[in-house]
Amino acid sequence: MRALVAVAVAVTLGAATACSAAPREPPLASATPTTPSPTPTAGRTSTGPAPTPTPTPHPTATPRPTVPSVLARLPLAARVGQLLMVGVPAGGTSDAALRQLGRYRVGGVILTGRSHAGTSATAALTARVQAAVPGPAVLVATDQEGGAVQVLTGPGFSAIPSARSQGRWSAAELRARAGDWGGQLRAAGVRVNLAPVADTVPPGVSNPPIGAFGRQYGSDPATVATHAAAFAAGLADAGVVPTAKHFPGLGRVSANTDVSSGVTDRVTTRTDPYLAPFRAVIRTGHPFVMMSSAVYSRIDPAQPAAFSPTVITGLLRDDLGFDGVVVSDDLGAARQVSAVPAGDRAVRFVAAGGDMVLTVSPATLPAMFDALYDRAARDPAFRARVDRSAERVLLAKQRLGLVAPNG
């Protein structure tokens, strides 16, 4: 959702991967010397047993850190940081913005706006982000759906057709093509794609956030499920985490949560057939799921889905059995949640069962961090939620080979 207005929302960040050199192994010459065998006396055959040389010891590989060991070393402030994904302009960022990322030890960034610079320039930007943030490596995400929503273009990046066009391909072709696109993202240091869109827009429905831009794979849940799952599997093949969005669906709303308030879905139920595409993507392995910020009046009429324990914990986690990372749609600049103070948005999302608070606006980072930290410091139950969410984020990083700290 936020991808369609990201150009107008200035966000800043970047980083260079800090790869600490592995400890130098001791040279083999430092091993315990072997005792030379005695020289037999000339003209006489030795009848004693042949001496056994002392074996040269082999260097022991340094064990990779585990999620529990990394989590145990993180103070509360660093655990809270793991729950924040903050906007960075895809075209570049300032040193001051990078310092802010490092100060809050953020767990992720989202590349926003549009960049035509290509894979090499994007890789340099993501490396700067990594170098700026101490602790566990940063999850770098962007919106690379195709069509109107493709943040990264230029040398090394393919022009990706819209999901509407992708929906006409076979699932096998889409998976293969998505694998290619995922490989391009990985080469640029982007390991999370905030795609595929798993929303279904019925035929003949006016739908500003999805249908108006051809972001849907089809007009029925079965088609969307097949193709969203194929897209997700292709990304996973390339070592990039897919993200099913916008749960529990934005295909039947009549306004865009980025630029409108009071957006409400009056159709979707807890057993709705339109949930099938989300279930299909979840079954592909270890995706993320992005929450919608619309209100779903037939599930929880009191609050947006992103703040609803009924939707996140009850429907997504309990009914669909999802125990992976739940990320919010933009909670920094979206009009739908603008009446709620920034810090409260972060707390309500995590309290409802969410894991990563996404904000395209770095200006909201201090308030969101402070609110999460203060609540966790005084509320043991909320602290346990923060710890569990930080663990989920670190597990996702472990699967990508990113669990080792930067420093």
Rounded CA separation 145/132 (Å): 28
Q: What is the largest CA-CA distance in the chain?
A: 104
**Structural element, H or E, at residue 125:** helix 119-132
Please state the pTM of the whole predicted model.
0.85
The string of pLDDT tens digits covering residues 39-71 is 333 333 334 444 555 555 555 555 667 899 999
pLDDT band at 20 (very low <50, low <70, confident <90, very high): very low
Domain definitions of the chain by residue range: 2-15+64-399
User: DSSP state, 312?
Assistant: I
Beta strands 84-89 and 144-146, pairing class: unpaired
The string of pLDDT tens digits covering residues 329-370 is 999 999 999 999 999 999 999 999 999 999 999 999 999 999
pLDDT over 80 (residue 286): yes
Contacts of residue 191, Cβ cutoff 8 Å, sequence gap at least 6: 139, 140, 141, 185, 239, 240, 241, 400, 402
The string of pLDDT tens digits covering residues 166-223 is 999 999 999 999 999 999 999 999 999 999 999 999 999 999 999 999 999 999 999 9
User: DSSP assignment of 155-217, as one string?
Assistant: TT-PPPPPHHHHTTS-HHHHHHHHHHHHHHHHHTT--EE---B-----TT---TTTGGGT--S
Rounded CA separation 29/18 (Å): 31
Cβ pair 21, 135 in contact under 8 A: no
If one looks up domain 2-15+64-399 in CATH, what number appears? 3.20.20.300
Nearest CA to 351 among 377, 299, 389? 389
**Structural element, H or E, at residue 130:** helix 119-132
- Quick one: how far is CA 45 from the chain centroid? 72
Contacts of residue 203, Cβ cutoff 8 Å, sequence gap at least 6: 219
